[in-house]
Amino acid sequence: MTIRPIVRYPDRRLAMPARPVTAFDDGLRELAADLLDTMRAAPGIGITAPHIGVPLRLVVLELDAKAGPQTYVNPEIVWASPEMIMHLEGSVSMPGINDEVQRHARVRINYRDLDGIPQTEESEALRAVCHQHEIDQLDGVFWIQRLSRLKRERLVKKYEKMSRGS
Q: What's the CA gap between 106 and 83, in Å, rounded?
A: 8
Contact yes or no for 158/149 (Cβ under 8 A): no
Burial-class residue 108 by CB neighbours within 10 Å (0-12, 13-18, 19+).
Answer: middle
**Residue 160 falls in the annotated catalytic set:** no
Q: What's the CA gap between 115 and 120, in Å, rounded?
A: 14
Burial-class residue 88 by CB neighbours within 10 Å (0-12, 13-18, 19+).
Answer: exposed
Which residue in 30, 134, 153, 160 is the catalytic one? 134
Q: Which segments of the chain does DSSP mark as H helices, in order? A: 26-41, 125-138, 149-165
Report the side by side order of strands in the sheet with 106-112: 46-48, 58-61, 70-80, 106-112, 118-124
Catalytic positions: 134
